[in-house]
Amino acid sequence: MSENSFHLVYGASGALGSAIVRRLSEEGLLVKAAVRKINDRLRSAVPSQVELLEVDVLDRQAVLESSQRAAVLYHTVNVSYQNWESFMPAALDNVLSAAKQNGANLLFPGNVYGYGRLGGKPVTEEQPLAATSKKGRIRNQLEHKIMEAQRAGKIKAVIPRFPDFYGPNVTNRIFGTIFVAALSGKKASWIGKLDVPHNLVFIDDAAKACVLLALTKKAYGNSWHVPGPGPLTGRRFIEMVFEAAGEGQPKIGVIGSGLMHLVGLGSADAREMAEMMYEFEEPLMLDGGKFSREFPDFKFTPHHEAITTTVQWFRQNPAISVA
């Protein structure tokens, strides 16, 4: 393996970043995992052959130095919604500069925010980027900057677009709380409407797709929908989580838009989530035909198997806080 072939994951303590690190390591690739602060929990979670680096992505010099001789940069850093506007453009500028200066390829995981409302049907990558939310407009600005650099020949970049994640280390208040509730026999709540279809992707499958795209030369210069094995309703997802936890019939609650706006009066997180409620009130489905045609051997983990794996992870990590 050449000196110029390591893969560098920024945001390696997060759910997707840590899953990408594991996948790269399983593939036998040389991996470096960059985090803002190294602690004992990270050391124990990262494969022993992976080098841990302390890098603040807002420190341009640190980003430039850490990425010297890297082959691929995975920019998976995320922050609380209310900090997106100040943090995300600055962080991307630094990682983009590093990719340009050091000749590294860039993988930037995306989501569906930039599309706005999807119109109730599965959408392809040709769907117009008609964001209706502040966060969607920020995502579009970031992706536009990346693809402008790609078109100008300054970097090679690829953007996989995902629906919502669930799985090990996914501890957000939408999905993490459902698994915690199931294991304690308490009520689990879904935001929006319970009975509309919603694509969900297992975090390990998302990581596998990221690595596959990063290793495929002709994938660059494009965005790719990676939708998971098929949509579920919120009701069915919660039922499957409780079944896997051995809790039988679940108690299911709903957090509608009215309650979300009310909670938002005292919570910045809830205020930011309120503008995205349409994603849980209308069908959210991505057409993954382009990805499946290019990678016909790629298999998504069935939801029942992925949910069982996730339940086991939460059972083994009872001290993990949901945020």
User: What are the residue ranges of CATH 3.40.50.720 in the chain?
Assistant: 6-164+201-228
**What's the pLDDT score for residue 2?**
45
CATH of the domain spanning 166-198+231-285+302-316, picked from 3.90.25, 3.10.450, 3.40.720, 1.20.1740: 3.90.25
**What's the pLDDT score for residue 41?**
82
Pick from 85, 272, 274, 139: which is nearest to 129 by CA? 139
Reply yes or no on whether the pLDDT at 323 is more than 90. no
Question: Torsions phi, psi of 239, nearest 5?
Answer: -60, -45
pLDDT tens digits, one per residue of 4-46: 589 999 999 999 999 999 999 999 999 999 999 998 888 888 8
Reply yes or no on whether the pLDDT at 258 is more than 80. no
Overall size of the chain counted in residues:
323
Fold of 6-164+201-228: Rossmann fold (3.40.50)
Tell me what the pLDDT averaged over the chain comes to.
93
User: What are the residue ranges of CATH 3.90.25 in the chain?
Assistant: 166-198+231-285+302-316
User: How far, CA to CA in Å, does 183 sit from each of 41, 177, 246, 309, 310?
Assistant: 23, 10, 8, 13, 11
Say what percent of the chain tops pLDDT 90: 82
d(CA 308, CA 69): 39
Q: End-to-end distance of the chain based on CA atoms, in angstroms?
A: 40
Residues 257, 282 contacting (CB under 8 angstroms): no
CA angle 280, 127, 292 (to 5 degrees): 90
Threshold 0.75, pTM exceeds: yes
Provide the token pair at 154: 């300054």
**What's the pLDDT score for residue 263?**
54
pLDDT tens digits, one per residue of 118-163: 999 999 999 999 998 999 999 999 999 999 999 999 999 999 999 9
172 vs 266, residue with greater confidence: 172
**What's the pLDDT score for residue 268?**
63
Q: Which residues pair with 202 in a beta bridge?
A: 166
Reply yes or no on whether the pLDDT at 1 is more than 60. no
**What's the pLDDT score for residue 265?**
43
